[in-house]
Amino acid sequence: MMVSQGGRGKDTNTSWIALRILEEQEHLTRTDRRDIQFTMSSVPSVEAASSSSTPASVPEPEISIRRLLSPTPSEVQAALEVLRISFSKSAFFAAILGGNVSPERMAAAHELFLRAALVRGEGEVWIAESFFPEEPEKKEVVGAVLWFLPGTEFLATEKQRKAARWEEFARMLGVQSRWLTDYYLPRIDAFWTRALPYGPSHLESYELCKLAVLPNSHNAGIASLLVWPVLSRAVREGKRVVGETTSEGNVSKYLRVGGQQVGEERFYAFDARGRPTEEGEPAFRIWGLEFQLGQVGNGHWSRTNERDEQNEKGITRACL
């Protein structure tokens, strides 16, 4: 998993956060209906409400979280724009593209991941939309999260490769496309096998692949809201959730909310012969993280998410 988050401040300790689960009109399975959408409303703090001399604060937008199902072209483009802005300086995507990070190539790389995650039954894409109640039709996509479900992984099936237009992407990259298929994917697979020697394997787990929030929506709890529907589902199902981050700075954030680091791996760029250099400084590092929801000592998740009794009793491992 790669994460981009952190800008507009909002104190969730002095605000009430109301979450309500809404049903999508499209026909879904029972599990989908339970997880399909919810809205966060930020209400002024008790202190502000009790002070008549305090000037009225600027209205905060509401945030709705929903899963993309049969998305329109405009919805796909909005999600891609979040990825483009959030990962504009990503060493991971630069390594995929062999250092040639032209806008066209970066857009193609982001689309590869997004369309693979949109394959029903193999992945899921959830988005966060910002809006004001007075104008609910004017929504802006401010965050997105890409998941792969237990039993599969990124580009593991022909269905995914076709949906993601892999052959098109590979032709554009030429020999550089081997970095992803022949180097990165086998290496990250081996990393997780070492990192999780006990219990369900990473192939039996939910994989948090990409998590992105626009800079002007950072520090508003949106990242937590985005991951919550699938994370809570993992609790109900007793499934492990795994992922990774390429930012060492993010590791400390996840540790503060109950995460556990399970390993670190280095990845190198291809040299002129199309082989990983394996010496000197790596192109990037990856840190694997787990999170045991039922054993957390801090109140991060209980403050920001609705949890039922089953959630409180269950234990899950989740990478944030």
- 8-state DSSP, 317: B
What pTM was estimated for this model as a whole? 0.78
Phi, psi (deg, nearest 5) at residue 291: -140, 120
Q: Which two tokens stand for residue 79?
A: 């999600």
Look at residue 51 and tell me if it is in a domain: no
Q: 166: pLDDT confidence band, cut at 50, 70 and 90?
A: very high
Q: Give the CATH number, domain containing residue 108.
A: 3.40.630.30
Look at residue 71 and tell me if it is in a domain: yes
pLDDT digit string, tens, across residues 306-315? 433 333 332 2
Beta strand spans in 149-229 (E) = 206-213
> What's the total number of domains in the chain?
1
Percent of residues in the chain assigned helix, strand, coil, to nearest 5: 40, 25, 35
Task: Annotate 232-279 with DSSP letters as a single string.
Answer: HHHHHHT--EEEEES-HHHHHHHHHTTEEEEEEEEE--B-TTSSB--S
C-beta of residue 290 within 8 angstroms of C-beta of residue 262: yes
Look at residue 81 and tell me if it is in a domain: yes
Look at residue 252 and tell me if it is in a domain: yes
- Which has the higher per-residue pLDDT, 211 or 272? 211
pLDDT digit string, tens, across residues 201-221? 888 999 999 999 999 888 888
**Could you list the residue range(s) of the whole structural domain that residue 193 is in?**
2-7+58-313
Look at residue 216 and tell me if it is in a domain: yes
Look at residue 17 and tell me if it is in a domain: no
Look at residue 318 and tell me if it is in a domain: no
